[in-house]
Amino acid sequence: MLEKAISDNGSRIDYKDMTKSLQQNLSKLQLKMKEKNLPVIIVFEGWGASGKGSLIADIIKMLDPRFFNVYSTLPGTETDRRYPLMKRFWENIPAKGKMAIMDRSWYQELAIARLEEGISEEEYDRRIESVNVFERQLTDDGYLIIKLFLHISRQEQKRRFIKLREDNSTKWRVTDTDKMRNKNYDTYYKQFDDMLKRTDTEYCHWRVIDTTDKQFTRFQLFNILVSQITNAVNSEPHYPIPADVTTMFPMQKTPLLSEVPLENKVLKPSKYPEELKKCQKQLAKLHGKIYKKKIPVVIAFEGWDAAGKGGAIKRLGAAFDPRGYEAVPVAAPEKYELNRHYLWRFWRKLPKTGHITIFDRTWYGRVMVEKLEGLTPEARCAMAYREIDEFERELTRSGVILIKFWMQIDKDEQLKRFNERMENPEKQWKITDEDWRNREKWDLYETAVNEMLEKTSTVYAPWTIVESNDKLYARIKVMNTVIDRLEEALKK
């Protein structure tokens, strides 16, 4: 791709007036972005001394500072490395109507990491896939991503380095790494070119600009920005046809909820204290071991209202060191959360290595309550199965142990528990009008859950259905399942 960099081919055109007009258009477009709730990400990648900083400065002069952020991407810190690769980039995606300008980006984890960190070819391939998935998920959600690679020749880069070093106020900008990359220009050229080709997708193309002529570069930059943002604000939402996830990902078959026997899944109350103590003692030991081994764990709970999620979470939490786990209750998203991709708020809550995060309800709200209550367009909900399977694959590939529970009760047991809550002043806060409304849609929810189980119970992130008509049995099954999964992970 680099050989096709856009250049002015030595023409003598004066681009100043044309550039000025484009700059004024960009300023006006920012208001239209806000009105249209269009989130925009502008990615600057390229060679050292290719002009990223000055071009970003040219852009922000034309923009209202309340509606954009500039991020300079440095190499990942030790703390960053304790989370899945894409977490720190998910955290910085802009809200609807706003812009994020990236002075380098997630692409530093690809070509540069391959050459300078020595990541394997296999890991490089995985990271390419992670980046392509990340960008596709955002563009499917309405984001506009404009990717710019600033290209210069080896000779031009060397000339600029010399000029920078001649001035005491700028010589600090030329590092030993810059010199090394210029010396090995051909090697980096080949790796950059491979990266660009493999991440130039139908939903997110690269624009490579030869920045030798600075006047032409500024014109080309603003021409690309104005053109792409204009097209985006004038376009209506388009949702691609959902992919068949059952053929894309390795699945583990789960039964229909109606096929799950509940009547014989009970535990005698007299045996419960002993079983509880044994499980919690074992979990405490395992927590210490996964902390030492730096294994991150995510435990996700879904289930019917009043199925016992809170009780199971409470017993798990009592076994873990409180310094090493967090329980995250998931309610309806706040306005600032609705203004971003729905997975954003879950990426932000992922545990670092050696820690545990327990989600009381999860990202599966997209294919249940949002779908059935009409809170999200049906076509957009249908796309979520693939996004969720990709999200969970990303977590497990990064070393996260992901344990998912569906707490299953029957309709009669739910009614019994609802009534008990209504009669108990200390538990009345647990029952809401929404719980009763959801109960009226039991059959619709059951159909949605069956589809969810079928399409998201993957080999790497299978569902465990917990028979929960008997609370004591359910709590012990949850703890034993977590014990088994952690022991299995430690053996590996």
Nearest Cα neighbor of 131 from 106, 105, 103 is 106
Q: In which order are the strands placed within the sheet that holds 463-467?
A: 325-329, 356-360, 297-303, 401-408, 463-467
Nearest-10 Cα torsion for 225, 226, 232, 235 = -160
Sign of CA pseudo-dihedral 127, 133, 137, 140:
positive
Q: Give the pLDDT score at 10.
A: 65
Could you tell me the CA-to-CA distances from 83 to 80, 338, 348 in Å, in that order? 6, 24, 10
How far apart CA 84 and CA 50 sit, in angstroms, is 30
CB distance 96 to 41 below 8 Å? no
Weakly modelled stretches of the chain, pLDDT under 70:
9-12
pLDDT, residue 208, reads 97
Q: Which residues of 311-320 are buried (b: 16+ CB within 10 A; e: fewer)?
A: bbbebbbebb
pLDDT at 12: 60
User: b/e for 56-72, b at 16 or more Cβ within 10 A?
Assistant: bebbeebbeeebbebbe
Give the Cα separation of 346 and 364 in Å (integer).
11
Q: CB count, 10 Å around CB of 121?
A: 8
Q: Is the dihedral of CA 368, 91, 126, 77 positive or negative?
A: negative
Report the alpha-carbon distance of residue 341 to residue 92 in Å, rounded: 11
**Could you read off the pLDDT of 172-197 as tens digits, one per residue?**
999 999 999 999 999 999 999 999 99
**pLDDT score of 13:** 74
Which amino acid is present at 114?
Answer: R
